[in-house]
Chains A and B, each alone.
Chain A
Amino acid sequence: MSRTQQLEIAADLDSLKQARDFVEETTQLAGLDEDRTGELLLAVDEAVTNIVMHGCPQGGCTIELEFEGEPGACIIRIRDNARLFDPTAMLEPDLDIPPMERDAPGGFGVYLFRHLVDQTSYRVTGDGRNELTLLKRMADQHA
């Protein structure tokens, strides 16, 4: 049986800590280890930061976080009513360029959340909101 929990926050930078606390508390209760929790935390922080800074710079938007615990995996869904944007369709930064030669390490938020979780997916919900789903497994597959 899966368990879900939800948190609604304002889409502003003051809410980042609240979003991270929600992920940390729910996933650790579900038994996700510290390293994987840290990775998922970073992924969610980047996704939420992107929504705040790029999706809704004018303010006034709302973000809904949903945790779902499944056997062997933690799922975080992030729904927001900011500008429609599919972060999973973005090009990745070129990591072959030596880091200090890059002008500014922008675009890394998207890279981070794609590479720190096991699955990402995006859809527009029935009521017209962005929904980004991040899945983190409790252990490596075939381990």
Chain B
Amino acid sequence: MSSALRIAVSEEKGNVPVTILHLTGDLDGKTYQELEAKAAEVIGAGASNLLFDLSGIGFMGSAGLRALHAISNKIKTAGRGGSAGKMMLLNPTDAVSRVFKTLGFDQHFSIHTNLEEALKSF
């Protein structure tokens, strides 16, 4: 299996527009910058509500956590007209949850297991 990270972007209209980044592959020291770059790109294009679908992540290391943490800080000031944006996570795999839990981040990201509920919570 390839370790490359693939990122597909889709838009959903809930109460507010939500940009979903669907991640597949490995989020490690090699690929985390690709995630930061893609997030910067969609934020730069005006997205302020980001949902990361992590159900396809086979491996994540602390570099992946660093990237999500950096994006979370960035999105807080990304809303149009100065309003804060929001970031949430959907369906993290065991490999992702392991890093969150070991480093104490599991309580500090908004994590959902249902797409509809995630969209409603923005």
Chain A residues within 8 Å of B, Cβ to Cβ: 13-14, 16-17, 20, 35, 38-39, 41-42, 45-46, 49, 52-53, 95, 98-100, 102, 104-106, 108-109, 111-112, 115-116
Contact = CB atoms under 8 A, between A and B. Distances in A.
Is chain A's interface secondary structure helix, strand, loop, or mixed overall?
A: helix
B57 to A, nearest CB: 12
19 contacts: A16-B26, A17-B3, A17-B26, A17-B28, A17-B30, A20-B26, A41-B59, A42-B59, A42-B95, A45-B28, A45-B59, A53-B29, A99-B104, A104-B69, A105-B62, A106-B66, A108-B65, A112-B102, A115-B102
A24 to B, nearest CB: 9
Contacts of A105: 62, 65-66, 69, 103, 105
A49 B28 contact: yes
A10 to B, nearest CB: 13
B99 A112 contact: yes
Contacts of A42: 59, 61, 95, 98-99, 102
A100 B62 contact: no
Interface residues of B, number: 23
Contact of B105 (A39, A52, A99, A115): A99
B89 to A, nearest CB: 13
Contacts of A16: 3, 26, 28-30
Nearest to B107: A99
Given A49-B61, A105-B62, A112-B62, A99 B103 contact: yes
A20 B35 CA distance: 20
Nearest to A20: B59
Given A53-B29, A98-B108, 8 more contacts: A13-B28, A20-B26, A42-B61, A99-B105, A100-B69, A100-B72, A105-B103, A115-B102
Contacts of B104: 95, 99
